[in-house]
Amino acid sequence: MKLLDGKAVSARLMEEMAREVETLSVKPCLAVVLVGDDPASRVYVNNKKKGCEKLGIRSLEYTMPKETTQAQLLELIDALNEDKNVHGILVQLPLPKHLDEKTVIRAIRPEKDVDAFHPVNVGKIMIGDFDFLPCTPAGIMELIAESGTDLTGKECVVIGRSNIVGKPMAMLLLHKNATVTICHSKTRDLKEVTRRADVLVAAVGIPNFVTADMVRPGAVVIDVGINRLDDGKLTGDVDFEAVSPIASAITPVPGGVGPMTIAMLMRNTITAAKKQNQ
C-alpha cells in the first residue's frame, strides 16, 4: 500500500510555486474574508494565510463580525473587485445563516474567484475550458497522479455530490476519461457501487463511513473528510486502519487532501495575478 502523502506533495508544489512567484513582475495578492467566529473557519483562514507567507504571496485578511449584513459584505467584495492590487478573493464558507452564500459567491468577479465557485467558473469546468480548478478536487487529481494511476477507462466512484467537492471532482475525473459514478444519501446499495471502484473518493463528512467491505482490493482510496471527534482528534470518512491494508494507495487524514487544497489555492492565486497582468 502506498501512502499518498499530501503534506509532502504539497510542500514540493509550494517550493516550485515560491520559485515562480519570485520571477513575477507583480506580487500576487489574495484577499481572504472571514465573517463570524467559527473556530474551524478560523483555522482554515490561518492555514491559507500561512500558505501565502511561504510563497511570497501578499495576503489581506478582512475579519467581519457575525452580525455583518449582506449589504456590508457585498460592499467589501465590490471594493476588492475594483482594487487592481487584489488578484484573488476568497470568502470563507460557511457564512452565518442570515447571509446568502449564493449571492455572495456571484458577487465575486469570476477572474478573481480563486475558489472557482462562481457559476461562470463552474460552467467553464463543465465544458473543460477553465482558468481555475476548484482547490480540493484539483488537489485530489494531483494525488491520484502521484499514485501513478492512469485514469483512462477506470471506474471512479465519488461519494458526495456537493458543489465544492463531489460534483466538480466527478467532472475532473471525467475529463481524464474515467467512467464516473456519483453516489449520495439516496443511492441504493452503496456498497455494491463502491466495490466496483478502481478509484474511490469519499466526501461525505461522516467519520469512518467507508469500511473495508465497501472497498475493492487494490483500489486507490481518497479520503476528503475532515471530521472532528469528541476528543478533538481529526479523522476522515474512511476507516483507515481497516481499509489501508487492502487499498493500493490511500490518503491519510490529516496530511492527505487538506494540504493539497491550500497548495491549489496558491496556484489559483498565482494564475489570477498572471492573467490580470498580461
Nearest-approach distance from CB 166 to ligand NDP, in angstroms: 5
How far apart are alpha carbons 233 and 17 in whole angstroms? 31
**What is the footprint of ligand NDP within residues 127-156 (CB under 6 A)?**
136
Element containing residue 17 per DSSP (H, E): helix 6-23
> Binding ligand NDP by CB under 6 A: which of 27, 184, 228, 275?
184
**Residue appearing with cell numbers 469546468:** 125
How far apart are alpha carbons 84 and 147 in whole angstroms? 40
Find all residues with CB under 8 Å of 85, minimum gap 6, and list them: 29
Q: Is 257 in the site for ligand NDP (CB under 6 A)?
A: yes
The residues with which 75 forms a beta bridge, in sequence order, are: none
Q: Is 224 in the site for ligand NDP (CB under 6 A)?
A: yes
Helix, strand counts (H, E) of the chain: 10, 11
Nearest-approach distance from CB 228 to ligand NDP, in angstroms: 9
Compute the CA torsion angle 66, 71, 76, 78 (nearest 10 deg).
Answer: 150
> Binding ligand NDP by CB under 6 A: which of 186, 231, 232, 278?
186
> Binding ligand NDP by CB under 6 A: which of 185, 188, 232, 278?
185
In the complex with ligand NDP, the residue whose CB is nearer, 94 or 148, is 94
**What is the footprint of ligand NDP within residues 30-49 (CB under 6 A)?**
none
Q: Is 172 in the site for ligand NDP (CB under 6 A)?
A: no
Task: Collapse the DSSP code of 243 into the 3-class scheme (helix H, G, I; strand E, B; otherwise coil) and give the result.
Answer: helix
Q: Which residues are catalytic?
A: 48, 92, 115
**Site residues, ligand NDP (CB under 6 A):** 136, 159-162, 164-166, 183-187, 190, 203-205, 224-227, 257-258, 261
